[in-house]
Chains A and B, each alone.
Chain A
Amino acid sequence: MKSFDVNMLIITVICTLITFLERALPFLVFGGKKVPETVRRLGKILPSAIIAALVVYCVKDAAYGFTGDLIPLLVASAVTVGLHLLKGNTFLSIAGGTAVCVLLMNLL
């Protein structure tokens, strides 16, 4: 078992600081003064845009390689969105979609 050393400490500090600064940057740039109108509007439309990008991010490997996981992922996605449009129950939509995904990936 390796023990903690100065090298690891420095790496941990660098990664912690960089990660925090990156997350803090919008607050540092726009925090003190009035937020510009364009950025405010961007803040309103960006959430759905980022989430859409994150959905692609979640399936990136299957989508890029057209692997066997792609069809289970697409079917489970359709089930999730369908359940949510029909019932509007977050827990049901997530549990239903995940169950379909697990079943398809393990049975197909």
Chain B
Amino acid sequence: MKKVISYSFRLSIPVLVSFMPLGIAYGILMQASGYGPVITGGTSFFVFAGSLQFLMISMYGGTVSYLTCAVMAALLNSRHLFYGIPFIEKWKDYGFWKYFLIFSLIDETFPLHLKNDFDDGSERHRMFSYVLTAAFVWSYWVGFSILGALIGTLISFEIKGIDFAMTALFLVILTEQIKTGKTAFPAAVAAASSLLCLYVLGPSNFMLPALLLTVIVLVPGLRKGGREDEK
């Protein structure tokens, strides 16, 4: 079990680095909007969705209807609709922990779960390597947002560019995926449709259309692909 803990912690380090500025920034913003560490920590604990939480600050202000809140929440994180698909079969016997893994399936845990190759022969340990990785990431988010709310506007220690750690993590995983899985084509299709949607629709609402376009382009090939490339 010790091995599982240290494996999961090491896996989560890039997110530790990138959540430090992001979580603290969120906490500072909450503090500046008049919400203290308890509300900040509670929101991070239950909602656990970075960009939505930033948006919720304006919702707390109380100018939008609940229906609008629900629609905005659904649209903002709609890319999460796709994140479960690779894990449907892997996690199907995980019982209670499956729900925790689903709850914590965010932009940052999704790639870590893909990268996770822990295997010591025990399925239970394998399950906990997923669970602990997600738990570490969750605790960073909650911890740093509370820290941000505590220090408030006292300190400003923004290091420009440090949040590239997250991008770098994605690039590393993409490189590995392409090298080992022969999946350069889907990645290229996704990159092209993302750029297309970004320049046509602008930076705030391009991810869902981009992912839908990617799936629309790729699915016909999957149907025709037949059994031979099934490995």
Contacts and interface: CB of A to CB of B under 8 A. Distances in A.
A76 B84 contact: no
Interface stretch (B1-9, B72-80, B135-143): B72-80
Contact of A52 (B36, B115, B187): B187
B187 A22 contact: no
B25 interface: no
B164 A2 contact: no
Task: Return the 9 tightest CB-CB contacts between A and B, nearest first.
Answer: A26-B84, A49-B190, A101-B164, A56-B194, A105-B161, A48-B183, A102-B161, A48-B177, A52-B187
21 contacts: A4-B38, A11-B59, A23-B80, A26-B83, A42-B215, A45-B218, A48-B184, A49-B190, A52-B186, A53-B193, A57-B107, A57-B207, A63-B195, A77-B168, A94-B17, A94-B168, A94-B169, A94-B172, A98-B162, A101-B162, A103-B161
Interface string A19-36: 110111111001100010
B20 interface: no
Interface size class of B (residues with CB under 8 A): 35 or more
B49 interface: yes
Interface in B41-72: 42-43, 46-49, 52, 56, 59-60, 62, 66, 69-70
Interface of A: 1-2, 4, 7-8, 10-12, 14-16, 18-20, 22-27, 30-31, 35, 38-61, 63-64, 72-73, 76-77, 80-81, 84-85, 90-91, 93-94, 97-98, 101-106
A41 B222 contact: yes
Q: Which of A30, A57, A98 has the most CB of B within 10 A?
A: A98
B73 A19 contact: yes
A51 B187 contact: yes
A56 B213 CA distance: 15
B118 interface: no
Contact of A104 (B79, B161, B186): B161
Contacts of B193: 53
Given A53-B207, A63-B198, A47 B86 contact: yes
Contacts of B46: 12, 16
Contact of B199 (A24, A64, A93): A64
Contact of B225 (A11, A41, A48, A93): A41
Contacts of A46: 82, 85-86, 186, 215
B160 A105 contact: yes
Contacts of B81: 22-23, 25-26
B190 A50 contact: yes
